[in-house]
Amino acid sequence: MLMKSTQSFILFCFIIIASSIFGLALRYIQVDNKISMTVIWILLFLTVITKVEKVYLEDFSDPKIQQYMMSPFALELIVLTKNLMIYLNLVIFFLITSPIIFLTLSIDFDIFWQINILAALSLLSLVFISSITASIANSKSNRLAITSVVTLPLFIPILIFSIGSMDMDLGNINSYLFFLAYFLLNLAFSPLLTSFALKKLSM
């Protein structure tokens, strides 16, 4: 349901091809860690958007939402669980693919864990914001699909702080506080907004 083998393979190929293109483009430029993190963040962003939209298109189709709404569990709780499962899927997926990204982008392996921790933290918020985007994009009215771009500015702070965090000491817990705070904010609003959009726009 969440990660079909074909889908995973397509995503894997996408990451390899995209990172190779970036790697080739940046070959003759002096690239510092911040630029590497930006490239990785863009790859993460595109992967999350694709993945979440695919899962939502399939798992929250009209007849399935009807059954979810007939369930004693609140739709918000179902959305939250799905998002957390997507997150776990993507974290593991990124952890597996990251060595290849490091190789294609010629990133120093000294910062392997630093980038993986930042990616895992960014992914939390990315998945929850993407779920709002996907629920609006999957609405019955095609006119609303373009409206889903209103959520795009919500992604920007994560990008800024991910890049900013490259200078911070990741042994210090304060470096993670933004990600935690932003995730908690998303945790509070995203399942509510997502399930509201699913109920009102997809039925």
Partner 1 sequence: MLNVSHLSFARGNKLVLKDINLSIGNSEVLVIKGSNGIGKSTFLSCMAGFLEPLEGRVEYFSKSIDPTISAKNFIFVGEENFAYEDLSILDNIYYWLSLNSVTPNQKSIHKSIEYLFGRIDMNKKFHQLSYGQKRKMRMLLLLLIDKPVWILDDPFNGLDKETISKLIKIISMKKALDGIIIMATHMTPHIKDIKVFELS
Pick the binder of partner 1 from 25, 27, 57, 62 (CB under 8 A).
Answer: 62
Pick the binder of partner 1 from 29, 30, 32, 67 (CB under 8 A).
Answer: 67
x/- track of binding to partner 1 for residues 163-202 (CB under 8 A): ------------------------------------x---
**1 touches partner 1 (CB under 8 A):** yes
Pick the binder of partner 1 from 29, 30, 73, 110 (CB under 8 A).
Answer: 73
- The first and second tokens of residue 181, run together, are 């705070």
Backbone phi, psi, residue 192, to 5°: -65, -50
- The first and second tokens of residue 188, run together, are 């509070």
Those residues whose C-beta lies under 8 Å from the C-beta of residue 191, and which sit 6 or more positions away, are: 76, 77, 79, 80, 83, 128, 131
Q: Which stretch binds partner 1 (CB under 8 A): 43-51, 55-63, 95-103, 181-189?
A: 55-63
Residue 203 and residue 60 in contact, taking contact as beta carbons nearer than 8 Å? no
**74 touches partner 1 (CB under 8 A):** yes
HSE-up (13 A, CA, CB side) for residue 117: 15
| Long-range contacts from 199-202, C-beta under 8 angstroms, 24+ separation | 199/65, 199/69, 199/75, 201/135, 201/136, 201/138, 201/139, 201/140, 201/141, 201/144, 202/60, 202/62, 202/65, 202/135, 202/138, 202/139, 202/140
Tell me, by CB under 8 A, how many residues bind partner 1: 18
**70 touches partner 1 (CB under 8 A):** yes
Nearer to partner 1, 55 or 123 (CB): 55
**143 touches partner 1 (CB under 8 A):** no
CB of 108 to partner 1, least distance (A): 40
Nearer to partner 1, 176 or 196 (CB): 196
What is the contact surface with partner 1 in residues (CB under 8 A)?
Answer: 1, 4, 61-64, 66-74, 78, 199, 203
